[in-house]
Homo-oligomer: A and B are copies of this chain.
Amino acid sequence: MNDIKWSKPEKKIARGAFEKAYVRECADFAMKIRAQVEKISKPDDIWDLHKFMTEKIKEIEGKYYYRYSVLILVFARLVKDRWLDFNDLKGLPESKIDCTESLVDF
């Protein structure tokens, strides 16, 4: 995975796809926060919301790791989790798309 080279135009497409997925997942996260906030009726609900946010932030920070050496793995996970689809990766060479697909299936 470390040997995969990224050209300048590929890096641009990759960065765009990565950002798109991040914004989508955060928008969904914000929606879930809003839904939970609406239900706050006692102090414990605040602590539950904070716990939910801490866990989700930890998950997001662990997942959105922008290093070219692991980017195919990151993309495969984002496709699997439906924050990204192959249209977002359009323009990348077939070898990288195939590799991502194999990892999604795996």
Residues on A lying within 8 angstroms of B by beta carbon are: 22-23, 26, 29-30, 33-34, 37, 40, 42-43, 45-47, 49-50, 53-54, 57
Residue of B nearest to A38 (CB): B34
Number of copies: 2
Partner of A46, one of B29, B45, B46, B47: B29
Residue of B nearest to A47 (CB): B57
Partner of A43, one of B26, B37, B40: B26
Neighbouring B residues of A30 by C-beta, 8 Å: 37, 40, 45-46
Partner of A37, one of B23, B26, B37, B57: B37
Identify the 7 closest CB pairs spanning chains A and B, nearest first.
A26-B43, A50-B53, A30-B40, A37-B37, A34-B37, A50-B57, A30-B46
